[in-house]
Amino acid sequence: MSSSDRGEIVLKVEGVDARYGQIQALRGISFEVAAGEVVVILGANGSGKTTTLRSVCNMPIVHSTGSVIMNGTEIKKKDTAEIVHMGLAHIPQGRGTFPELSVMDNLEVGGYVRKDSLASDIEKYFELFPRLAERKDQLAGSLSGGEQQMLAVARALMSRPKVLLLDEPSLGLAPLIIEDLFRTFAELNKTEGTTMLIVEQNANLALGIATYGYVLEAGQVVLGGPSEQLKNDPSIQAAYLGA
C-alpha cells in the first residue's frame, strides 16, 4: 500500500474529521489518489462517503479539520471556488446543475474558470451526449434524471479538471444508463488522463473501472488496496458484491 508504486500523488487526505453540528460524520480518515488513477470509495448509507468529498472541496455545509493536499498545496483552508480554480471539479449528489439555466448556459458556466474558447469542448460533449445537443436550449431543470446526470458530468468536465470528484453517479438512474455513464468515465480517464475519485454503493461497477479502492465504515477507512485485491476480498464480496 506504499504510495511509491502508485505514482505521483495528486490528492493526499490525512486525518480528516468532519461534523454537521453535533454529528460526527468522519473520524480521522486518510487516503491518497495518484495521478491518472480512478479511485473508488465504497461504503453503505451513512458511512461518510458524501462528507468525504465535501470535506475535500471544503463545501461550507460541513465543518471539517485535518489536511488535504492537492498537487503539493494544502487546500483544507481554501475557499471552494479557489480549489476549483486549482483544477478540481466535483459532481455532487443530486447532480449539481443549474435548473433555471439552459443546457448551453450550464456548459458555459462549467468552463467559468477557463480563459480560452469553450466552443470545441462544448462540441465534444454534445458528441459524447447527443441527448444534450438535442436539448441545448431547454432549461436544465426540465431534463430527465439521466440527462441531468450527463449534463452534470459534461458541466464538470468543461473546466478541464485535473481531479474529478463524483458522488454516487449511479444514484437513481436506470441500469443501462449507469453502464453507459461508467463506460464514459473509463474512456475519459484513458483518453484525457483525468484523475477520478468516485464514491459509490454500486461496488461491482465502481471496482470495474477503478484502479484502487477504499472502504469506509462509520466514518473511518477500514480497508484499502488495489481494486483487484478488493474484488477478491471475502469481506467485500459478502458486504458489497453480493457473493
Among candidate residues 183, 189, 190, the one with its CA nearest the CA of residue 169: 183
Name which of residues 129 to 188 contact another protein (CB under 8 A): 141, 145, 148, 155-156, 159, 172
What is the Cβ-side half-sphere exposure of residue 136, based on CA atoms within 13 angstroms? 13
76 binds another protein (CB under 8 A): no
117 binds another protein (CB under 8 A): no
Binder among 81, 119, 222, 238 for another protein (CB under 8 A) = 81
Contact 165, 31 (CB under 8 A): no
104 binds another protein (CB under 8 A): no
Binder among 29, 33, 34, 57 for another protein (CB under 8 A) = 57
Residues constituting the chain: 243
Helices marked H in 143-201 — which ranges? 145-157, 175-192
End-to-end CA gap in the chain: 25
59 binds another protein (CB under 8 A): yes
Binder among 7, 15, 46, 99 for another protein (CB under 8 A) = 99
Contacting range for another protein; rule: CB under 8 A; set: 15-23, 78-86, 185-193, 195-203: 78-86
46 binds another protein (CB under 8 A): no
50 binds another protein (CB under 8 A): no
Amino acid at 81: A
CA–CA separation, 113 and 55 (whole Å): 21
Q: How many of the chain's residues bind another protein (CB under 8 A)? A: 34
Q: In what order do the strands lie in the sheet with 9-20?
A: 23-34, 9-20, 63-70, 73-74
**Contact residues for another protein, defined by CB under 8 A:** 57, 59-61, 79-81, 84-85, 89-90, 92-101, 105, 108-110, 112-113, 141, 145, 148, 155-156, 159, 172
